[in-house]
C-alpha cells in the first residue's frame, strides 16, 4: 500500500482532530502518501481531496472539532453513488480509506470495502454508542464537560436548596448520563436503556429531604424524553423548587482530555497498521484496555458493550 486517505463523517466529536493527526503522522512515518477528504463522504463525491503533510496536522491535538470538517451525505446510501466514490478514490490512486465516525460512517466504509476500496473505521462520537468498542473517542471529553457543569450546578443547587434536572446528550445511549451520575454524585439517573420510574425518583428525592439534604441532582439522558416535563412532574408532586438545565451542544466541543487524546492516537496508529497489514474492512476499538480490531460486519452485529454495573453503583451510592 502506497497511498491512503482519511475523512471525518457524521456528527462531530472533540477528538476527531487528534485521530486525524495520528493517522497522518503514522502514515507518513510508514512511508505512505496520505490524503485528507473534506466534509466526509459528501466532500469525496465533490473531489474535495488534498494531500496532507506532517505540518497539516500541527497544532490540532488540543483542539475540538475537525480540521477536515464533517457532514452527512444521504446520497451515499445509493449503490451507484458509492461506485462513483470508488472511481474517484482510484483516480487519485488511493488504495485504502480510514473513516473517523460512528456506525453510519462504518456502514459507508463497509460498502466501499465490498467494492474493492479497503476501509477502516475509527469510532468517534460523544454518545459512546459505536459498536465493537467499549469507548469511542470524544466520550471522555464530553463526560468531563458534563461533570464540570454538574459541579457548578451543585453549588447553586445547594445554596438555594433546589432540585436540578440536568439533561445530557447521548441519543439512545445512556452512557454519558450513567457515568456522569456516578462521577457527579447524582441522586438519580434516567437512561433510555431502563424504563423510567418517576415515582421511584421522587421517593429518592423525598428520602434525601427527610434526612436534611434539601438539594438534589437528577440526570436525564436525552433519549429518555422531555427533561422539562420530568422537572414539572417533580415540582408538582413534591412541591420542591425545581429547575431544569439542558446542557446541549456545549458537550460536543472543547479541548479534548488527555485520556481521549491518547485513545485517539492509539486508534489512529492502529488503523494505519491494519491497512499496511492488509486487514481490510475492520474497525478499531478498545476492550478491557486492549486495542482490538474486528470486521465491520461483526462489529455492527454486536450488542453495545456497556458497563451495566454502573447503574447499580449509582443507586447504591445515592441511597
Ligand atoms: P453519528 O454518531 O453522528 O450518528 P454516524 O457516522 O453514525 O455518526 P450517520 O449520519 O449515521 O452518522 O452516517 C454518516 C454518513 O455515513 C451518512 O450521512 C452516509 O453518508 C453514510 N452512511 C450511513 N449509513 C450508510 C449505509 N447504510 N450505507 C452507506 N453509507 C451510509
Residue with the smallest CA separation from ligand 1 atom 3 is: 11
The full set of domain ranges for the chain reads 3-138+256-301, 142-252
Q: Is the pLDDT assigned to residue 139 strictly greater than 90?
A: yes
Higher pLDDT residue, 108 or 210? 108
Q: How many angstroms is it from 73 CA to the middle of ligand 1?
A: 7
Topology match between the domains 3-138+256-301 and 142-252:
yes
Distance of alpha carbon 52 from alpha carbon 113, whole angstroms: 23
pTM for this entry? 0.94
% of the chain exceeding 90 in pLDDT = 82
Segment 84-103 shows an average pLDDT of: 97
Q: How many angstroms is it from 201 CA to the middle of ligand 1?
A: 36
pLDDT at 229: 94
Check if the beta carbon of residue 84 is closer than 8 Å to that of residue 40. Answer: no
Q: Is the pLDDT assigned to residue 217 strictly greater than 70?
A: yes
Q: Is the pLDDT assigned to residue 319 strictly greater than 70?
A: no
Which atom in ligand 1 lies closest to the alpha carbon of residue 75? 20
Q: How many angstroms is it from 104 CA to the middle of ligand 1?
A: 3
Q: Is the pLDDT assigned to residue 165 strictly greater than 90?
A: yes
| ipTM score for this prediction | 0.95
Instruction: State the virtual CA torsion across 262, 137, 39, 298 in degrees, nearest 10.
Output: 120
Which atom in ligand 1 lies closest to the alpha carbon of residue 82? 29
pLDDT at 68: 96
204-215 per-position pLDDT tens digit? 888 888 887 788
Please give the C-alpha separations between residue 189 and each of 66, 95, 97, 177, 310, in angstroms, as whole numbers.
31, 46, 39, 6, 11
Return the best residue to mutate from 105, 125, 137 for the ligand 1 pocket (most ligand atoms within 8 A of CB).
Answer: 105
- Of 15-19, 226-230, 298-302, 310-314, the one with minimum mean pLDDT is 310-314
Segment 178-182 shows an average pLDDT of: 95
Which atom in ligand 1 lies closest to the alpha carbon of residue 129? 2
Axis-axis angle for helices 79-91, 103-114 (nearest 10): 70
**Cβ neighbour number for residue 38 with a 10 Å cutoff:** 20
% of the chain exceeding 70 in pLDDT = 98
Return the best residue to mutate from 71, 82, 108, 112 for the ligand 1 pocket (most ligand atoms within 8 A of CB).
Answer: 108
Segment 218-242 shows an average pLDDT of: 93
Instruction: State the residue for C-alpha cell 472533540.
Output: 14
pLDDT at 77: 98
208 lines ligand 1 (CB under 6 A): no
Q: Is the pLDDT assigned to residue 309 strictly greater than 90?
A: no
Segment 182-206 shows an average pLDDT of: 90
- Which residues are known to be catalytic? 127
84 lines ligand 1 (CB under 6 A): no
Q: How many angstroms is it from 72 CA to the middle of ligand 1?
A: 7
Which atom in ligand 1 lies closest to the alpha carbon of residue 76? 20
Q: How many angstroms is it from 13 CA to the middle of ligand 1?
A: 14
pLDDT at 208: 82
pLDDT at 307: 62
Segment 165-176 shows an average pLDDT of: 96
Return the best residue to mutate from 74, 107, 128 for the ligand 1 pocket (most ligand atoms within 8 A of CB).
Answer: 107
Q: Is the pLDDT assigned to residue 200 strictly greater than 90?
A: no
Q: Which residues contact 199 (CB under 8 A, 6 or more apart)?
A: none
Average pLDDT along the chain: 94
83 lines ligand 1 (CB under 6 A): no
Q: Is the pLDDT assigned to residue 235 strictly greater than 70?
A: yes
101 lines ligand 1 (CB under 6 A): yes
- Of 35-44, 142-151, 190-199, 289-298, the one with minimum mean pLDDT is 190-199
Distance of alpha carbon 32 from alpha carbon 57, whole angstroms: 16
Q: How many angstroms is it from 101 CA to the middle of ligand 1?
A: 8
Q: Which residues contact 148 (CB under 8 A, 6 or more apart)?
A: none
pLDDT at 207: 84
- 142-252: which CATH architecture? 3-Layer(aba) Sandwich (3.40)
Please give the C-alpha separations between residue 154 and each of 14, 151, 244, 309, 318, in angstroms, as whole numbers.
25, 5, 13, 25, 15
CATH number of 3-138+256-301: 3.40.50.450
Q: Is the pLDDT assigned to residue 271 strictly greater than 70?
A: yes
Q: Which residues contact 59 (CB under 8 A, 6 or more apart)?
A: none
Segment 27-31 shows an average pLDDT of: 97
Amino acid at each position: 500500500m502506497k497511498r491512503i486517505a482519511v475523512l471525518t463523517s457524521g456528527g462531530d466529536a472533540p477528538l476527531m482532530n487528534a485521530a486525524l493527526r495520528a493517522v497522518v503522522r503514522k502514515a507518513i512515518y510508514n512511508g505512505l502518501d496520505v490524503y485528507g477528504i473534506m466534509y466526509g463522504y459528501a466532500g469525496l463525491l465533490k473531489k474535495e481531496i488534498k494531500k496532507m503533510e506532517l505540518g497539516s496536522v500541527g497544532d490540532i491535538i488540543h483542539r475540538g472539532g475537525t480540521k477536515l470538517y464533517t457532514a452527512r451525505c444521504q446520497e451515499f446510501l445509493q449503490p451507484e453513488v458509492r461506485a462513483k466514490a470508488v472511481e474517484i478514490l482510484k483516480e487519485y490512486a488511493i488504495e485504502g480509506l480510514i473513516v473517523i465516525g460512528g456506525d453510519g460512517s462504518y456502514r459507508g466504509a463497509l460498502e466501499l470495502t465490498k467494492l474493492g476500496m479497503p476501509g477502516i473505521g475509527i469510532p468517534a462520537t460523544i454518545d459512546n454508542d459505536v459498536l465493537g468498542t467499549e469507548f469511542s473517542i470524544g466520550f471522555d471529553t464530553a463526560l468531563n464537560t458534563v461533570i464540570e457543569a454538574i459541579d457548578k450546578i451543585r453549588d447553586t443547587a445547594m445554596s438555594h436548596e433546589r432540585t436540578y434536572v440536568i439533561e445530557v446528550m447521548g441519543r439512545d445511549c445512556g452512557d454519558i448520563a450513567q457515568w456522569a451520575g456516578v462521577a457527579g454524585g447524582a441522586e438519580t439517573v434516567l437512561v433510555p436503556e431502563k424504563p423510567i420510574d418517576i415515582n421511584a425518583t421522587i421517593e429518592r428525592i423525598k428520602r434525601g429531604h427527610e434526612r436534611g439534604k434539601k438539594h438534589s441532582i437528577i440526570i436525564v439522558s436525552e433519549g429518555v424524553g422531555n427533561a422539562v416535563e420530568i422537572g414539572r412532574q417533580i415540582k408538582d408532586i413534591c412541591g420542591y423548587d425545581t429547575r431544569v438545565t439542558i446542557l446541549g451542544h456545549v458537550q460536543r466541543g472543547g479541548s479534548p482530555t488527555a485520556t481521549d487524546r491518547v485513545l485517539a492516537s492509539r486508534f489512529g496508529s492502529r488503523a494505519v497498521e491494519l491497512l499496511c497489514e492488509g486487514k481490510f474492512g475492520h474497525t478499531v476499538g478498545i476492550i478491557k484496555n486492549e486495542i482490538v480490531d474486528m470486521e465491520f460486519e461483526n462489529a455492527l452485529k454486536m450488542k453495545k458493550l456497556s458497563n451495566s454495573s454502573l447503574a447499580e453503583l449509582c443507586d447504591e451510592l445515592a441511597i
